[in-house]
Amino acid sequence: MEKKLRIAVIAHDGKKAELISFVIREIENFKEVDLLATGTTGLLLEEAGLKVERKRSGPLGGDAQIAAEVVEGRVHGVIFIMDPLSAHPHDPDIQMLLRICNVMQIPIATNIATAKLMVRGRLRD
């Protein structure tokens, strides 16, 4: 029996609407994976009809919680829709999550174009 893929989903405040719109367009693909998300993003995904394991919000440690799950081998991909034009007080946690994904060879999408490739390809490789 194949293990179900587990994807973490995060979005900066200025990108949450863009992420939710993407998820709704790709809802059938998202229903095929286990999702975990940071606070408000997780709530919005639940409101879109998905089952989500919610972590704390990013500034309160949610990014670090997801990084820990990556290190433990419990996450197969991360979608982190970032707002590159805004400052983020928890930037060290964001950089740590990006670094951990790179070290652990976990795919990470930081924009919708890459997220689309990840979700439609279902992380097959």
Residue 98 · residue 82 · CB < 8 Å: no
The secondary structure element, H or E, covering residue 27 is: helix 27-30
125 belongs to the catalytic site? no
What phi and psi, each to the nearest 5 degrees, are found at residue 54?
-95, 135
Catalytic residue among 34, 63, 93, 125: 63
Residues in the chain: 125
Structure tokens at 107: 């795919």
Rounded to 10 degrees, what is the CA torsion of 46, 51, 57, 58? Answer: -110
Active-site residues: which are they? 63
